[in-house]
Amino acid sequence: MQKYLTIGTVLKPQGIRGEIKVMPYTDYAEDMKDFTCVSIGGTQYKVLACRVAGGYAYLTLRGVADRNAAELLRGKDVLVDREEAPELPEDRVYIADVIGCALVTEQGEKLGEVLDVTPARTDIYTVLIGGKQVMFAAADGVIISVDVQGGTVTVNKERFEQVATL
């Protein structure tokens, strides 16, 4: 398991006092209020304040005193230590834990390996199948189960073939 989890991306500076606007990858932007430290670009920052508006999080970080300092963070991922991340409900997993899992059918046929998951209303999975990158939306009925411990993502083959870019 990865030590750090990506929880968002810095979109831009907000104002002149070093606040940054973050696109959260968490289910709810309010989840960002739970973190006391974040890592951006390999540097640890203490979170001094967090506010939420319009589905975005606005962070004030120790060591980011003005707009120029905040501008240097634009486009970078916001990470947190896994130990600080909240426990998930039983039916939820962290994206970082799905990457590298085998993609298999209900019959046990191995299709490929999960390379990436892009968070969206319907998450977009990128998998490697026969040396080719294939993308598919996690639409209703496509993913049957995710077994992080077993390292597998099980899909309904028929539904997968309908939504995948084969």
pLDDT tens-digit readout, 5-53? 999 999 999 999 999 999 998 888 898 998 999 999 999 999 999 999 9
Q: Which CATH number fits domain 95-163: 3.40.190.10, 2.30.30.240, 3.40.50.300, 3.90.1300.10?
A: 2.30.30.240
d(CA 41, CA 74): 10
- Report CA 28 to chain centroid distance, whole Å: 12
Distance, in Å, from the CA atom of 96 to the CA atom of 129, rounded to the nearest integer, reads 20
If you classify domain 4-84 with CATH, what class do you get?
Answer: mainly beta
Domain boundaries, the chain: 4-84, 95-163
Q: Can you give the pLDDT at residue 122?
A: 87
Dihedral-angle region of residue 15 (phi above 0 means left; psi in -120 to 50 means alpha; beta otherwise): left
pTM: 0.75
pLDDT at 2 over 80: no
- Token code pair at residue 78: 């916001």
Tens digits of per-residue pLDDT, 98-124?
A: 999 999 999 999 999 999 998 878 899
